[in-house]
Structure 1
């Protein structure tokens, strides 16, 4: 989207879920649809849906209505190209009414929405592969072999060319909290504003897609480089504040948790603390109605079996005064225990919260009980607001705070940090 905008094209974008507001799902060149426009188009679509019901046909779902609204808007606004994100899966998704897309892109495919898409990674991949159309170019993230085999098989069945990113062709040059510089095939010295090694792979998917679309949409290299260097993806390893560092990430499944852990270790050189560090002074206290463990972690000590002289000789042991705080909220139908097993070893303190206004939300107390299996210090923060207030009191300017678990609540974090 950002690359096409830099090249001068008018771009429609339809996404879900949203982070900040409902209208975020409908965008043209980054601007959200106006409320008045939504009201006008939704009324038109609702009238059609009513006629369908009167004719004895099924009433469209809400997502189907929203998809129709998006298509109407893009048509009225005469956009040059539309970027559609499937809502769930692919084969039965509302966006899959497009008979001949220009190009089909697959990001990382992992275990998620198993109750709907299937229990195995192969079943999930086949559902997602349902958006592949005859003769339509396919570009894929370098997924695990089982996923790639499914995509290749479906591509062969419908005679569609498939291009899977060559992971070995990605050459990372530098990486920091300000961004990354990398090369991919003939593209050299690319600055990417997004963080994490997985985003280098996503950028490579984009570069492969651009090559397929160039015959229809001429794009200069300058637009490609500017687009990648300025792209913003809210809620994806996004640094909100420094001193202490506050990061929000929408990681809500096992694969995303692995990527997040890898990124934390990469950027902050944090190693597992579960077995290596004890916290000496912990006292119970109450603040603003929250029952929490007020931490005095100025004194960290190594496990009794390790002596300081051993540490000096053991270069594999990383001793740091930077503490890692998590604020976590999840939905009950996610593999949250597996996520905790992956993420908890890096944390000094885990604060749990309940995502608000979501019937699928797991309670903070249940999440805290689960987290205590894998972490030394777990606090039930109840709500996002109380959890942020608590961590703001406890964290020093050298510490790191990671807020993750669901895209459903992280949009409100910025206002809480400045309040």
Structure 2
């Protein structure tokens, strides 16, 4: 036998060998990252067929949108649990650990269960990889693990199901949900989803299924037109913010805001949330409208007391999260223009401070100028750093864009370049004086690392 034959036989044996530990399982799944984002549902459909289509036994609440998906999923999960339902939640990316993505009643999947399910999938993944379809991606395998966890291990009443990217060709779109939610449509992932807002809206609207009701808080007229057309074509009832339902803000303070909800079936007031930022009232109203539809048509039982308790208890790490009080440091994963606008609005409406000192790190494929356009006016100091990730934007390039834009806008911002994110955090802590506010923002890859460092979390794995 030649050396090449011996090597390929050894590789085949290694592929066939079961994974032995949680770390091996997580490494195997993350090892599929180089296969990238490959739109299309063929590999996912085949994987599900091979597992006897377990997704057909589950009841999904499908959530798409550019920003606010995670918070909306947090509200839905929290309220359903408060109402006594068992709930599965699948979200991405994760902030601390790979297991964060797969939750049952708010608890991560046990490591040994993830290992077992990975071993169940591995032979099928390898057989598909050897076919003309090519290897399933990391996100496809993660989605399959979520479905197996819910359909074969935990059996929740509802699965809160967040899209990864877009909607139409996103692998989460393998399911037929009880209801679809679209938070909003903005300027993110346009390199993959299309170069106009209408094109991105078409992708998000792809989660609308025949006869399945859809709820949205989208506001742009061109997006609304796309959603209305797709809903009509699918014979789906569309509940749109500003038309079928609305909310009115009653009060806003740090860590508590209240609002009135007006819907087609009833009005509810006051409702309270502890997540910060005016946009959280819109996210909560979206979740409430979805629950109202399920209440009306699926006999979901939601008492007002449980609804309020669930909304107040919802938590979502890394989004307007105060991770330190001495010095005051706020964290927010504002990685696109819409997220940055939301952060800027929250800093003006919710928080009081003398000066704001901002650490920012971004990926290279983002809309840097438009994001910085919202951040610069609220920053006295801007410390530009680099996330620990292969697609990072260099601190020097980002700082150059920031300085040029600040000058064009007539803003006096002290721009500091510090490529090492740890040194950037140290610098931030030293810069914050009494009455000041520190802000860490940009890509969630930076947020994940910075959050773990500031909160002394030791088992941080961060990623998609």
CA distance in 2, matches of 1:238, 1:173: 22
Q: 1:199 corresponds to which residue?
A: 280
Secondary structure of the 1:180 match is strand
Which of the pair has the greater relative contact order for Cα pairs under 8 Å at 6+ separation? 2
Question: Which residues of 2 match residues 216-231 of structure 1 at below 5 A?
Answer: 216-231=299-314
Question: Which residues of 2 match residues 324-363 of structure 1 at below 5 A?
Answer: 324-356=356-388, 358-363=389-394
| Contact residue 177 and residue 239 of structure 1 kept, 8 A | no
Q: 1:308 corresponds to which residue?
A: none
CA distance change for structure 1 residues 55 and 255 in 2, over 3 Å: closer, same or farther?
closer
Select which of 169, 181, 203 maps to 1:127.
203
Q: 1:144 corresponds to which residue?
A: 220
Q: 1:258 corresponds to which residue?
A: 341
CA distance in 1, matches of 2:423, 2:315: 28
> Is the aligned partner of 1:232 residue 2:269?
no
What does the per-residue CA deviation read over 1:337-369, in whole Å, with 9 as the maximum and x for residues that have no partner?
22112210221100011000x211111122122
CA distance in 1, matches of 2:195, 2:452: 38
CA distance change for structure 1 residues 121 and 418 in 2, over 3 Å: closer, same or farther?
closer
CA distance in 1, matches of 2:327, 2:128: 55
- Which structure shows the bigger proportion of residues in helix conformation? 2
Select which of 253, 258, 265 maps to 1:176.
253
Query: TM-score, normalising length from structure 1?
Result: 0.84
Q: 1:58 corresponds to which residue?
A: 134
Query: TM-score, normalising length from structure 2?
Result: 0.76
Aligned length: 366
CA distance in 2, matches of 1:53, 1:230: 43
| Contact residue 355 and residue 408 of structure 1 kept, 8 A | yes
CA distance change for structure 1 residues 418 and 4 in 2, over 3 Å: closer, same or farther?
closer
What does the per-residue CA deviation read over 1:226-272, in whole Å, with 9 as the maximum and x for residues that have no partner?
011111011111122335421111111111111111111112468xx
> Is the aligned partner of 1:81 residue 2:137?
no
Q: 1:370 corresponds to which residue?
A: 401
Q: What are the ranges of 5 or more consecutive residues in structure 1 without an aligned counterpart? A: 271-321
What does the per-residue CA deviation read over 1:377-416, in whole Å, with 9 as the maximum and x for residues that have no partner?
1111222211111111121121011111111121233443
Deviation at 1:178, TM superposition (A): 1.9
Q: 1:93 corresponds to which residue?
A: 170
> Is the aligned partner of 1:247 residue 2:330?
yes
CA distance change for structure 1 residues 231 and 43 in 2, over 3 Å: closer, same or farther?
same
